[in-house]
């Protein structure tokens, strides 16, 4: 059975995440302790104890989610000794793509974590300088939603599945687009509790800052193919990785295409490493025939032992 490892993005955080891994996995504990040392702050304490408002801040939530995802992956390797030859590809949703870079050997954990912290800082600043919002639209096809976007001035930010997409842009324009989408037949339009208009042109300043942040970092060729957010196809060179990161801040996340590509390449089991089951749920909406499992604590990792192929 061929696996793909997938890693979640911002919004999957919750107070208490990772605490079970810290207590029961020595490999995971090392990840949390190393992260605190790298960042020079007790990020693990914020994850375990809150407060929630601080954890939700983009500057904190992005590195926190990455750390928990890496800790889950390390605990999985420690407990199950998973053979990397079974892993056909890795992918991450938005922020999760940076976690995939670490797992595939493109960036060291320390460089990846520092880059994610800077990405979070840049996105938070861009959100203050260019305020905006996002909304999930359910039950409307892509073509119809594109018409809504063009009529209201918002942008498609995520194509998560055939019937779940996200729009991004100026707050008033997003509100108008939500109303228009409902009028055009959308089942639901839900305002997202995020600090800015991610994956839209309002993040252009952050993209410029990110280009400066990657200079001097040691990028390596992926040891496991990475399926890109923006392209929906494999990223195999250092230059392509960097372009993917820059493009990803201001353009639509093509998660549906990424999953379909991996399924078409032979992946039949997706393993999500992180604090929630967001991606596993989306994957099942995209293709009901594949298996999607979330590993978020030691119990879920142990439960997979019996189904390991």
Neighbouring CB atoms inside 10 A of 135's CB total 23
SS3 state at 136: strand
One of 94, 207, 231, 258 is an active-site residue; which one? 94
What secondary structure letter does DSSP report for 14? -
Greatest alpha-carbon span in the chain: 53
Angstrom distance (rounded) from CA 189 to CA 6: 26
One of 12, 93, 199, 200 is an active-site residue; which one? 199
Catalytic residue status for 94: yes
Angstrom distance (rounded) from CA 309 to CA 305: 9
Q: Report helix, strand and coil shares of the chain as percent, to nearest 5.
A: 55, 15, 30
Q: Are strands 3-7 and 269-273 parallel, antiparallel or unpaired?
A: parallel
Catalytic residue status for 130: no
Task: List active site positions.
Answer: 94, 199
């Amino acid at each position: 059975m061929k696996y793909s490892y997938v890693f979640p993005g911002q919004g999957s955080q919750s107070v208490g995440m990772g605490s079970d891994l810290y207590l029961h996995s020595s490999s995971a504990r090392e990840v949390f302790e190393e992260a605190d040392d790298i960042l020079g702050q007790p990020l693990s304490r914020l994850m375990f104890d809150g407060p929630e408002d601080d954890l939700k801040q983009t500057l904190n939530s992005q590195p926190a989610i990455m750390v928990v995802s890496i800790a889950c992956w390390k605990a999985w390797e420690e407990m199950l000794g998973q053979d990397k030859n079974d892993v056909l590809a890795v992918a991450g949703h938005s922020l999760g793509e940076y976690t995939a870079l670490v797992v595939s050997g493109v960036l060291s954990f320390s460089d990846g974590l520092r880059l994610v912290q800077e990405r979070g800082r840049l996105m938070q600043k861009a959100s203050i300088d260019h305020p905006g919002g996002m909304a999930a639209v359910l039950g409307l096809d892509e073509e119809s939603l594109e018409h809504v976007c063009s009529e209201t001035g918002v942008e498609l930010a995520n194509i998560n599945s055939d019937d779940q997409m996200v729009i991004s842009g100026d707050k008033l324009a997003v509100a108008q687009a939500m109303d228009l989408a409902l009028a055009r037949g959308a089942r639901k339009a839900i305002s997202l509790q995020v600090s800015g208009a991610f994956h839209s042109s309002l993040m252009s300043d952050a993209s410029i800052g990110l280009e400066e942040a990657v200079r001097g970092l040691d990028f390596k060729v992926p040891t496991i193919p990475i399926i890109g957010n923006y392209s929906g196809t494999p990223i195999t060179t250092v230059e392509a990785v960097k372009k993917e990161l820059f493009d990803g801040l201001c353009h639509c996340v093509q998660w549906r295409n990424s999953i379909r590509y991996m399924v078409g390449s032979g992946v039949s089991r997706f393993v999500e490493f992180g604090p929630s089951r967001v991606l596993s749920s989306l994957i099942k909406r995209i293709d009901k025939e594949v298996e999607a499992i979330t590993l978020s604590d030691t119990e879920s990792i142990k439960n997979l032992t019996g189904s390991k192929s």
